[in-house]
Structure 1
């Protein structure tokens, strides 16, 4: 398996197989999803609710029939629960840690179902008279959106003009997104074709004092880009001077970059001591539920990227990555790796290796590199 959607399709195929075996197949459309709350399982389906009106039976009764006949060993399911009005929730066993982890190690974050290959023009419209910080924030937004769209299989072009220029060839794209830095729409002197996004203001603050210097020049491009994506495009951003220039967890760039560094450092030390990561489940065990949770959280990426495109909002991906790292810090609190048996050491090394690659790849999509702390 190379894509997250391959996993979803595998469960859907086997649910349909179970329905056919029980003469319950009405060729209905049903959902197999990744629940937002992990207490509802790792994968969930509403198939019983969809079948209820056809069978004239309560959804929970249908769910019981399905769960009794479903071949959980084939899909490495450790537990199945029926929840609420009749949702079926699947809990994945440790085999899936390797399956999901290997997807990342072999393909990076190129693990998404490709869109139909729509063509997009991202048109950044700037003005020499505008605040340079706001222009730079709009650029960060545009490049992050470009990366997200391309990762989902779309053809994307980005151009930047000043307001007096005319852009030719507007009819050749499926989508045109005009991106304006804060304050530019008020001075717009011509009509545009396509969607309009006005990216909010960004400023550097020290108490009540606001600085007009080039923020990117003061704190570096990588930190600036990450701050620029740390809120929804329309919201203004006020960067605290203290958090912007020092390595503290109040700085979102450091908060995320540290996860990469921590995972990389632990594994580098252990490898020098002779531990070697494999991909054979027999050689590893996974003793920390927090580590497993991080691997299964990767399955949320498909939905996050779809929402980022639907709302033209790279912040969706930023927020997902930030929350992923919040969960890493919980995992890190219990990572007393010197106290673990060898199989657990190797299992956690494997998880850390996946985390390292995953965080690095997502940071690259958000136009930030992890190596310059």
Structure 2
């Protein structure tokens, strides 16, 4: 039995939102399209997509936004244009930036820009991390929250100091807002207040939102129009974007409204984990509705435990597992969504207890 098949049979699933089968997802999309009179766009022209782009721009406080088939394409395009505008090809990024960790050196191999790592990979940026860079920067890319360190955020005061610093040195400040919806909830601030001071921002339409894929890039109207032209030049001009937009738009408001509940549930989970010192939590207190959990077993052993819990108890604890820094350790990311929100407290505690007991039996 594959992992996917095994997970579908589990009644206690920790990560994310409930996975819908293709048939369920397409049926929900069809019903929403029927109820809202949706028609396909043609290469991005159509009322549905253009109204959704305008909605995203309004929420973030920008002049305009445009759909892009992937965040990977959106971000490197935005940073390259920003560098061109300033005649400086150097971009400062956190060491755990998605561009460094997951994008296979695209910025370098495709000649988009040059990048340097700024700051400590184990903590969010402080303004001193950027002030220590003597070079003339074309752009600064800032991820909110930082996924690779458990969803941590720079403090609200530090975020403002970073915005002021980047503006003063004449660089473009771009936001990797793949999880901006979660970050705004963590800050307890409206989206436009978090985005204020950024020159551009990318947001995901599938991560916390639960869509099929796709992204939006927001900024000034002129900047967004230039980026859209480069999306076309890079092969992003798909004839119909409507499937991606429908999958996001039909649940967008509901997902954003649930963010405070997801964060509250993350605090409950964090507290429940305190009873199991063998499972170490990062960060020390939740800053968004996600955590990284560190285990004193190898990835291979963690996968054995996951399968045993799924087969014997119907419990699915995590999806991906990674090697830890120390030998024989591992860690995984846990995004708190509908699954944990709907789970009764005692069921959650029981599952954690079974998981902790299995980890202790090495």
Please give the range of the TM-score, normalised by the shorter of the 2 chains.
under 0.3
With structure 1 as the length reference, what TM-score do the two structures score? 0.23
More RCO (CA 8 Å, sep 6+): 2
With structure 2 as the length reference, what TM-score do the two structures score? 0.24
